[in-house]
Amino acid sequence: MTGFDPRRLKILLVDDEPFIRVTIRQILHQIGVPPSNLYEAGDVKAALSETLRVRPSLALCDIHMPGDDGFIYVASLRKAPIPEVAATPVVMLTSDSGEEAVMTAKGLNVSGYLVKPVSIATVKKSIERALKVTLP
């Protein structure tokens, strides 16, 4: 698909660190996603609730958070009884570049894996790959 309009994207940011969410929000805004289409969750329970409420185009999810981790979020999504929710593309956004984490993510059929810190270009490319679109 060529020239996909980023204003049509709804993105859920799942990270326990407010600073990271603010930083990723700024990157997504620079890519062209309007602030009104960005949603946040600071933990897995809130992320699952927001996913059901918003039905995001994509979730960007940290792995290591207090309580349940990002892998629990993805595993829970994949088991959701609503096919649209179960198929939500998830890109892991983490500082964990370890082989075990990468393999676990792969086993959960995530759509991408970004290691922090990230750039505008890497976030944009990751969204394009996950959604099979080309952003301007």
Residue 32 belongs to domain with CATH number: 3.40.50.2300
Does 2 have pLDDT greater than 60?
no
1, part of any domain: no
Count Cβ neighbours within 10 Å for each residue of 85-102 and write b for 16 or more, e otherwise.
beebbbbbbbebeeeebb
Condensed to tens digits (0 to 9), the pLDDT of residues 57-102 reads 999 999 999 999 999 999 999 999 999 999 999 999 999 999 999 9
115, part of any domain: yes
Neighbour count for residue 21 (Cβ, 10 Å): 19
Write the Ramachandran bin of 8: left for phi over 0, alpha for psi from -120 to 50, otherwise beta: alpha
pLDDT at 1: 44
Neighbour count for residue 20 (Cβ, 10 Å): 19
Counting the structural domains of the chain, the total is: 1
**Residue range of the domain that includes 76:** 6-131
Please name the residues in contact with 85: beta carbons below 8 A apart, sequence gap of 6 or more.
Answer: 51, 52, 55, 77
pLDDT at 3: 72
Q: What percent of the chain has pLDDT over 90?
A: 96
Mean of pLDDT over the chain:
96
136, part of any domain: no
88, part of any domain: yes
Mean pLDDT lowest among 1-5, 54-58, 127-131 = 1-5
